[in-house]
Structure 1
Amino acid sequence: MDLYLKGKRALVTGATKGIGRAIAFGLAAEGADVALCARDAAAVAKTAEEIAATGVKSFGAALDVSDGPALEGFVRKAAAALGGLDILVCNASALAEGAGEEAFRQAFEIDLLHTRNACEAALPFLERSGEGAIVAISSISGSEDYGYGSVAYGTMKAALFFYVKSLARHVAARGMRANIVSPGTTYFEGGFWDQVKINDPEGFARSVAENPMKRMARPEEIADAAVFLASPRASFISGANLVVDGTLTMRIPN
């Protein structure tokens, strides 16, 4: 299926590893030019170079997305470098653990506020696109408690549901869409579940066994959902929360 993404211009935050990296490369594979950011300058440069090697235009910058002015400046620079923006994917996460004040602050500033700031900065460009699309990466932890001290993380991922739904309704008449992808447990080398596997192999095995599919997702499986929602093929889908969890969650949506 042609997703009609060739020549589109996309920006992905937190795009040098895991799900964010898979989304950036998934968009590039469909012919979209990609701007990306993350904190590690060397990783950003390497990822941008690898994306450019696929034959599309790329632009990268190292920054902390909790720095609002820096993030807003990056959005403007990315739009200038790519000649506009059609797609915004907010993926960066603090992966904050626990329920302490600092964990809540980190999760608020990175998971929630960075999404709001990036959207506000990108909206003028997305509106000029005529078919602008926003995809925010939330989590099944926003609707069910899966332990491992995910209180702060889950709270802010839940807040994304309301923010994106409200945003989608407010921008619909201006030709823009906004959706969420909620991944289930997703394994990749160097990621959260890789660390659990190393430090708590029994807990990791239990988490794998809890899923009826008896495995965790690959980043590319989450990316496929995000790329589809970002594409014109999803032109009448907005305000949705697409759960990609291999049937792990048991909640019945209403």
Structure 2
Amino acid sequence: MDLQLNGARVLVTGGTRGIGRAIVEAFLDEGATVGFCARDADAVSATQQALAGRGDVTGSVVDVGDGEALAAWVDRSAAAFGGLDTVVANVSALAIPDTEENWQLSLNVDVMHTVRLVRAALPHLERSSMPSIIAISSVSGRESDFASGPYGTAKTAILGYVSGLALQLAEKGIRANAVSPGNTYFDGGVWASIETGNPGLYQTAVGLNPTGHMGTPQEIAAPVVFLASPVAGRVSGANLVVDGALTRGIQV
């Protein structure tokens, strides 16, 4: 299937590792021009060098918790690309323990970075012929689990925000969707850390999934790219759960 993304102009927050990097790679494989950001300058540089042969990619050092810096990156990227077609709000603070600091982090990084990214991108998306907004939520935003609290609540808020965006922006032809991954394993990721630091929790989490294993970043990235494509032009306001049948609730 041709996803019709050749030449599409895409921004991804948190593109140096895990799901974010897989999303960057998947868009590049479709012929898109991709800009990504992250806080770590060395990681940004290394990722851009590693992906340079894969397509047109630009990495930038940005702290998404800084609203002015985030907006400046969006405008700078749009000017360099000649516009924007898709933005993907991927960054999460992954602040799970129930502390005051983690509530503030989750609200500022997970929720408000998504809001600020959309606000900054909207003037550019309004001029696109295939505008799309995608936010990465989580199954923890859909049902209660061990990550309920700052992280889970922020992910639930993202789902509500995206649903509202889809309604508000429909008349402008701008689509907004969320993707909610289940447990996703990659080297250096949270589950790799839990595997060694709390093997009991890791085995419990694996055992809960009927597939018997966790997902990969690439398995999350593919649905993200599909939702961004004109092929999914009638899909807006959706929460696409990508979890290998981990969650049992029926979406109504």
TM-score, normalised via structure 1 length: 0.97
CA distance in 2, matches of 1:50, 1:125: 29
Say whether the 8 Å CA contact 1:57–1:82 is kept in structure 2. Answer: no
Aligned position for 1:234: 232
Aligned position for 1:206: 204
CA distance in 1, matches of 2:201, 2:96: 16
CA distance in 2, matches of 1:4, 1:50: 25
Aligned position for 1:144: 143
- Distance apart, 1:50 and its partner CA: 2.7
What is the DSSP-based 3-state SS (H/G/I as helix, E as strand, rest coil) of the residue aligned with 1:181?
strand
Q: Residue 17 of structure 2 aligns to which amino acid in structure 1? A: K
- Please show how residues 1-254 of structure 1 align to structure 2 within 5 Å: 1-54=1-54, 56-147=55-146, 149-254=147-252
CA distance in 1, matches of 2:32, 2:119: 22
CA distance in 2, matches of 1:166, 1:223: 23
CA distance in 2, matches of 1:97, 1:138: 14
4+ long deviations beyond 4 Å: none
CA distance in 1, matches of 2:110, 2:37: 15
- Distance apart, 1:158 and its partner CA: 0.1
CA distance in 2, matches of 1:193, 1:121: 32
CA offset digits 1:21-51 (Å, max 9, x no partner): 0000000000001000000111112222333
- Distance apart, 1:52 and its partner CA: 2.6
CA offset digits 1:61-102 (Å, max 9, x no partner): 111101000000000011112121101000000000212211
What is the DSSP-based 3-state SS (H/G/I as helix, E as strand, rest coil) of the residue aligned with 1:36?
strand
What is the DSSP-based 3-state SS (H/G/I as helix, E as strand, rest coil) of the residue aligned with 1:72?
helix
Say whether the 8 Å CA contact 1:59–1:81 is kept in structure 2. Answer: no
Q: Residue 36 of structure 1 aligns to which amino acid in structure 2? A: F
Q: Residue 225 of structure 1 aligns to which amino acid in structure 2? A: P
Say whether the 8 Å CA contact 1:9–1:86 is kept in structure 2. Answer: yes
Identity of aligned residues (%): 50
CA distance in 1, matches of 2:241, 2:126: 27
- Distance apart, 1:154 and its partner CA: 0.3
What is the DSSP-based 3-state SS (H/G/I as helix, E as strand, rest coil) of the residue aligned with 2:168?
helix
Say whether the 8 Å CA contact 1:36–1:48 is kept in structure 2. Answer: no
CA distance in 1, matches of 2:246, 2:96: 21
- Per mean C-alpha deviation after superposition, the further-off stretch among 108-117 and 58-67 is 58-67
- Distance apart, 1:202 and its partner CA: 2.1
**CA RMSD after TM alignment:** 0.9
- Distance apart, 1:145 and its partner CA: 2.0
Q: Residue 168 of structure 1 aligns to which amino acid in structure 2? A: A
